[in-house]
A and B are shown apart, each in its own frame.
Chain A
Amino acid sequence: MTSLTLSGIRKRFGKTEVIRGVDLSVDDGEFVVFVGPSGCGKSTLLRMVAGLEDITAGELRIGARVMNEVQPAKRGVAMVFQSYALYPHLNVRDNMGFGLKVRGVPVDERTRRVGEAATTLKLDALLDRFPRELSGGQRQRVAIGRAIVGEPSVFLFDEPLSNLDAELRVHMRSEIAALHQRLGNTMIYVTHDQIEAMTLADKIVVLRDGLVEQVGSPRQLYERPDNLFVAQFIGSPKMNVLPLADVRLPGGAAPAAAASVGMRPEHLSVVSPGGGAVDGKVMIAEYTGAQTLLHVEAAGHTLLVLHEGEAPANGSRLGLSIERANLHFFDADGRRAG
């Protein structure tokens, strides 16, 4: 197990700076998730940690050692790729043992480690199959197995579940969580799926345009987002944001600097018109089983409301109430106010 420190990390491709100064520390055994929209630089940052991209400026330490110029295989990290990146000409056994073979690990040791990883990941019966003969989930398990056998200090996952169907994604997500509990290694995981981020992470790093917007636990990010971007990126459906003037605030005045107010769809309750923070008209009601997602037009904005129970009819007028503690205030620049 190993800690990881990124200090002033920058990456430039030609004239374009894609990582614009990232400072981050990852503790021993921590599960850190990089999350952000497409093109925010999360995969590039991960590849820089792996050694697959050069670091233009800044310092990367794994443990106590500066790793900027160290070859990928000598950093003590292993990576699981989005497309699995299994060697198509090798069977599962050889795919998993390939790295050990390159490093000159003796055959006995190699066989033992591959066998153990295969047992852990329930791949014993598939060892002689080729990647083309495996399902998506099995390929992903082989890719994870290939990472495990190297006994790395740090695991790096680059959107490993994005090629799987929804059901398998949920299953593999729990397998990765279980793997982290069992191995206790430091893990860095890149995803654009914030459910994955929330469920897996000890710590989430939200990135935008090559900069860190906020670092914190899933709860911190959900309950106290530092700015509008994080507030709207974390949480599904995304937070509603209205100008302060359009909301009848419950429980007194807003903080002095506040210009807008955020309300999560799950915190809004349907009440009679005039009885809540805002009034509106139901435009669409999407029934999802346990809940209904209401699209409510209020003060020229469309608000999303997660409603339990019988949904109001389309076109009906209603009020939406919210507890004071669940309001998020932001200043004119989008930073948290109060």
Chain B
Amino acid sequence: MGSLTQRQLRIITQICWTIALAVVAIPFVFPFLWMISGGFKSANEIFGSPSLIPREWQWQNFLDVFTYQPFARQYFNSLYIAVTVTALTLFVSSLAGYALARLRFAGSALVGLFLVSALMVPEEVTIIPNFFLMKWAGFIDSHWPLILLPVFGPQGIMATFLMRQYFMALPKELEDAGKMDGLSRFGVWWRIALPMSRPALAAVAIITFLNSWNLFLEPLIFVSSLEKFTLPLALSNFTDPYGMPLWHLQLAATSLAVVPILIVYLIAQRQIIESFALSGVKG
């Protein structure tokens, strides 16, 4: 080893690291590849052959997904609900976070404490009161609970705290400069604080979108019509008349379900990793 140059040593170290990381990545990557491969296999072949390459490519699976149930509609439901929840959460959490960070008002500490304490209550505990609340409002078997509960529930509070922390770190002199330039308090928020908080907004957007996209318990409880299902619920619905899963359809549908997330991830890979680091939330 003594005769190795600095450069050779660096290359060898790099190769060793790459191999080690590749081995560590297998448990994470293999299920994903297995899912995509399963989507292209026949029902019999999925558990019949360990190979990731299908004997015969079953493109038909991806068409059957749409005929078995209103999958396109369900896909759209998930998409528009996630986008709406994300947009509303960004609006509400940034406004509330700004107020908590910057406005001095009577009881602001109490509001903060109240919000934190709400975070400590498990979602499963509040689901029954929430059910009655939504029933009282006439929102059962509609998408309203899937939009309102994440925006004003624990996820919304988390987002509010994330925004609050970020706003607190913004230099106050910039806001003073905004006031000198003629901005109102709302103007300072909209034209100075928000544009400067893009990393925090991105973090909130990404986490909120993912949470909404993966939401299972709420759709299961509040939605009963097939055409109002969201993706997680729809995926669990690819079963035969005896309730056994139709793996080939389920895997094809799941592959389709991860496409938007995958696209977003590939586009904004760095931003997403920074978001999780910023928020202290794991993926």
Contact = CB atoms under 8 A, between A and B. Distances in A.
Interface stretch (B120-128, B133-141, B170-178): B170-178
B183 A102 contact: yes
B209 to A, nearest CB: 23
A137 interface: no
Interface residues of A, number: 25
B181 A81 contact: no
Contacts of B11: none
Given A72-B179, A73-B180, 19 more contacts: A50-B180, A51-B179, A52-B176, A72-B180, A72-B182, A73-B181, A77-B180, A83-B173, A85-B171, A85-B176, A86-B177, A87-B174, A87-B195, A87-B196, A88-B196, A89-B196, A99-B180, A102-B183, A102-B187
Contacts of A52: 176, 179-180
A113 to B, nearest CB: 14
B192 interface: yes
A150 B181 CA distance: 9
Contact of A82 (B173, B174, B179): B173
Interface of A: 47, 50-52, 71-74, 77-79, 81-83, 85-89, 98-99, 102-103, 146, 150
A85 B183 CA distance: 15
Contacts of B174: 85, 87
Given A83-B171, A85-B174, A102 B182 contact: yes
Contacts of B187: 102
Nearest to A100: B181
B182 A73 contact: yes
Contacts of A81: 173, 176-177
Interface in B169-206: 171, 173-174, 176-177, 179-183, 187, 191-192, 195-196
21 contacts: A47-B176, A50-B176, A52-B180, A71-B179, A72-B179, A72-B182, A77-B180, A79-B180, A81-B173, A82-B173, A85-B173, A87-B177, A87-B192, A87-B195, A87-B196, A89-B195, A89-B196, A102-B182, A102-B183, A102-B191, A150-B181
Contacts of B191: 102
A311 to B, nearest CB: 45
Contact of B181 (A51, A89, A102): A102
A277 B196 CA distance: 63
A98 to B, nearest CB: 5
Nearest to B175: A85
Nearest to B171: A83
Contacts of B171: 83, 85
Nearest to B179: A72
Contacts of A103: 182
A77 B195 CA distance: 26
A146 B182 CA distance: 13
Contacts of A50: 176, 180
B176 A99 contact: no
Given A87-B192, A89-B195, A99 B182 contact: yes
Nearest to B174: A85
Nearest to A103: B182
Query: By CB atoms of chain B within 10 A, which of A71, A72, A77 has the most?
Result: A72
